[in-house]
Structure 1
Amino acid sequence: MNDIALIKEGNERAFEAMYHCYHEQLYFYVLKQTGSQFLAEEVVQQTFLKCWTSRMQLPEDVPVTAILLQIAGSSLIDLLRKKATERKAMQQLATTASEDHLLHNIQEKELTIHIHHAINSLPPVRRQVFRLSRENGLTYAQIADELSISVKTVESHITKAIKHLRKRLAVSPLFLLLLHHPFLF
């Protein structure tokens, strides 16, 4: 009885003996073909796994080396296709991420332009109070001291400025982005 017949019967010792006899030879053959240790290890593992799981279909009249080389060849092709598909998916993902990033940058620049136009449309004192608060980070008390006005007046200017900006920017298609923009609210 030959080794393939024993393996077809489920004899694990015969399969283990075949593995030990051909593992290294198959590994170096695939390594020579691919130049990749990773691929060689994967293909050899897949080859012996396929050989065991489909042992009932193994031909008994074909030499073991021919069977293993045929399975290894199809395993290598399958693995290379899988890697190519993964690589293509990663490239598409990177391209999409890059496009999304570019779109986000453009939208953010447009939003900044709209915000600056809206701020510049404020009356001069209100614009100054707003900028001291939002751009310079001054407190209402610090703004009141610097401009020699009351804190209540500063609060009033800020409240009116925000209402004006919300109203002005609400007509913009970028208003939804503005809701998440920390600059104003």
Structure 2
Amino acid sequence: MTTIVALKKGDRSVFSEVYFLYHEKIFFFVKRKTDSPYIAEEVTQLAFIKLWQSRENLSESHPLFSQLFRIVQSVLIDELRKQATYLSKTGKVIHLSVDEYSDVLEKLSEKEMRSRIMKIVEAMPSNRRKVFEMNRLQGMSYKQIAEQLSLSVKTVEYHLLEALKQLKRELGHHLPYVLLMLAINYF
């Protein structure tokens, strides 16, 4: 059975395979076009939702990626129109160049990401959170943290590794962006 036939029949495991096969390619394609991780993530998710909802209309005579790419282009155009309409209706920004538009969306995305990260950090177990904050937010070395918290350096390393694993689980492909924000002390 082909992938398209399986999708048309509602096979969720095949849909998951398609998602994992194309998610990253679509995300980086849209990010390259818009220079916005926020829009790239939105468009990617919406495109897969639309693929699932319209799976019965897929053509078996065209490659799946071509059909998915058409969906991505359609969703991207819709999302950009929606963002432009919102910005003009709120009166905050009426006329934007492509660069200005990307800057506004990027700032909104960064604010949302900071908020999301802080919620994840706040939900961490106490020692893990303290170690993470001392290292990533205050710039303290493992040795300094170990001395201040009366822990071994290995325990500090363990807590930091677990904190990063937790962030990776919850933020997925956004983690490199998050680590960059942390590295430049953006919080």
Q: TM-score, normalised by structure 2?
A: 0.48
| TM-score normalised according to structure 1 size | 0.49
Larger radius of gyration: 1
